[in-house]
Amino acid sequence: MRWGVIVFPGSCDEQDVYDCLKNNLRQKVDFLWHKDPLAGKFDCIVLPGGFSYGDYLRSGAMARFSPIMKGVVEFAQKGGLVLGICNGFQILCEAGLLPGALTRNASLQFICRRVFVRLEETDTPFTCAGKKGQLLKLPIKHGEGCYYADPTTLERLHKNRQILVRYVDAKGRTTPAADPNGSLDHIAGVCNEGRNVFGLMPHPEDAGEKILGGEDGLKIFSSVIEACDKRGKRAWLD
Amino acid sequence: MRVKIFVYLKDGVLDPQGKAVERSLHALGYKEVQDVRMGKYLEVELDAPSRQAAEERIREMCDKLLANPVIEDYRFEIEE
């Protein structure tokens, strides 16, 4: 399988994603410049973290209009896998590929630390290698990660089981103190109804080897690899 | 013409910046302050054949880019 990692002006975690996939998981990875059209065969497109367009106006508001995004939307509509991490999650929400929005952390502080998230659903290409209820220790580093959705959308998220990861404490409980940024319902990541687009605030690519403090993040990437292997070697985009 | 655009968080969306400003005002003795909501203010200079045409374009700009309908509302004033 082949991964594509999009580079927007102001992205800063694309190299971390690249290294994690290439060195830790021996994957084929290409960088994709945001101004180019999306061309080539890819199984999974990653929108990395960072501060695309300086976060001006709103995080992700301008990046969603980058030329490559037209191709990303078409790729997702055809069933291609799209993973948005941190700023990538914000861009996917702004682009309407994922429901809801990410707003300023309730504490108003930029948070940079490791947190625990709980895998809520495992019937998706991004979580299939994990077990339901499993805890992952992953770093977060963001100022605008407070997930918001209106009540109707939240109800739909529950009904369709689109909440894939929640912030919890070390024992897996959703205590108020375990929600680092004030996210609605402890939501750390959601997928679309088709379950082929996933966005999350924590950074799995920064938890890909022991020397970095843990390798729980590999669970997300190896899920994608497993899912792609299962459905054959075919790439989603010609 | 010149358009003044106000973009602000919808009711019910957490506004921690507004809350922080509210607490500061209370600390300064302005006890009468009940609630503070913070938003964005933009001024746009544009050419349009009529006021109605300008309104239409501005609404489109707000819906597409300047405001996120999930969390924000907007209003604007046109000065000729």
CATH of the domain at A81: 3.40.50.880
What's the pLDDT at A235? 55
Find the helix or strand (DSSP H, E) in which B22 lies. helix B16-27
User: What is the model's pLDDT at position A234?
Assistant: 54
ipTM score of complex: 0.90
Q: A15 Cβ partners below 8 Å, 6+ apart?
A: none
Q: Are A62 and A217 in contact (CB under 8 A)?
A: no
pLDDT at A238: 44
Q: Is residue A76 part of a domain?
A: yes
Q: Find the residue in A nearest to B38 (Cα).
A: A104
Structural domain boundaries enclosing A194? 2-230
Q: Please say whether the beta carbons of A1 and A21 come within 8 A.
A: no
How close does chain B come to A129, measured CA to CA in Å?
32
Give the pLDDT confidence score for residue A60 in this predicted structure.
96
Q: Considering only CB atoms, which chain B residues are within 8 Å of A93?
A: 70
Q: In this structure, is residue A98 part of a structural domain? A: yes
CA distance A124 to A195: 6
Indicate whether A235 belongs to any domain: no
Is residue A238 a part of any domain in this protein? no
Residue A25 inside a domain? The answer is yes
Q: Tell me if A237 is assigned to some domain.
A: no
Q: How many domains does chain B have?
A: 1
Quote the number of domains for chain A: 1
Range of the domain at B11: 2-79
Q: Return phi, psi of residue A71, to 5°.
A: -65, -35
A86 is catalytic: yes
Q: Residue B14 belongs to a domain with what CATH number? A: 3.30.1280.10
For the segment B19-55, what is each residue's pLDDT rounded down to a tens digit?
999 999 999 999 999 999 999 999 999 999 999 999 9
CA distance to A91, A236, B4, B16, B50, per residue, from A26 (Å): 27, 20, 53, 43, 60
**pLDDT digit of tens for each residue in chain A (238 aa)?**
999 999 999 999 999 999 999 999 999 999 999 999 999 899 999 999 999 999 999 999 999 999 999 999 999 999 999 999 999 999 999 999 999 999 999 999 999 999 999 999 999 999 999 999 999 999 999 999 999 999 999 999 999 999 999 999 999 999 999 999 999 999 999 999 999 999 999 999 999 999 999 999 999 999 999 999 887 655 555 4
Q: Which of A58, A101, A106 sits opposite B16 (nearest CB)?
A: A106
Q: From the candidates A14, A20, A44, A86, which is the catalytic residue? A: A86
